[in-house]
Amino acid sequence: MALYRNKNTRDLSDRELVYRYQKSRNKRYIGELYERYGHLVYGVSLKYLKNVQEAQDNVMLVFEKLMSELEKSDVKNFKAWIHTVTKNQCLMHLRKNKNVRSKEQSIEPIEYSLASETTDVEQVIAKEHSLTQMEQALNQLKKEQKTCVELFYLKEKCYQDIAEITGFSLKQVKSYIQNGKRNLKIILTKDGIKI
């Protein structure tokens, strides 16, 4: 997909890329979206599928489906949309594989297989709901706090690295992380989420 990337597409917003793809069906716009979000699709796929090869296959499947899906979808926030498409594709893959496995394991009672499948899918959905709420809470933080919290907790950067990346002093980084963490707890507790 990277073959289609050029300087002109790099300067376009996600929404503009989607719009231009819808009008022209030119794959270079999909190539740019792949460059921007391929890692996100892979990360979500790996989180759900817990298998490197299946996650890589899922990335290709999602971007293949993307070409036809974009033709009929009005996408305003591509990042959120591709995250949802990826999550749904993973859940379909997990359900399909559970059904195949439960048929292969004919010794196991059918009721147990179905109960186990339902529980697993429900747990995945509950976890995804919590992650979505956490992401929404992160978006309510001040920009500096959000940046530092994401770098520290999600990217696992140390204070020094965060200071170098952001240009903040070490004292500011520590303060933004502490205040951001406190504010996240307040936001999530207000929304009824236990931490």
Ordered by where they begin, the domains of the chain are: 2-104 (1.10.1740.10)
- Residue 99's pLDDT is 57
First to last CA, the chain: 41
- Residue 125's pLDDT is 64
- Residue 132's pLDDT is 73
- Residue 90's pLDDT is 92
Instruction: State pLDDT tens for residues 53-100.
Output: 998 999 999 988 888 888 888 888 888 889 988 998 999 888 887 755
Q: Cα(79)–Cα(83) distance, rounded to whole angstroms?
A: 6
Q: What is the 3-state secondary structure (H, E, C) of the chain?
A: CHHHCCHHHHCCCHHHHHHHHHHHCCHHHHHHHHHHHHHHHHHHHHHHHCCHHHHHHHHHHHHHHHHHHHHHCCCCCHHHHHHHHHHHHHHHHHHHHHHHHHHHCCCCCHHHHHHHHHHHHHHHHHHHHHHHHHHHHHHHCCHHHHHHHHHHHHCCCCHHHHHHHHCCCHHHHHHHHHHHHHHHHHHHHHCCCCC
- Residue 104's pLDDT is 44
How confident is the chain (195 residues) per 10-residue block, as mean pLDDT?
57 88 89 90 90 90 87 84 90 78 44 44 65 80 90 84 92 92 85 54
- Residue 66's pLDDT is 86
- Residue 143's pLDDT is 92
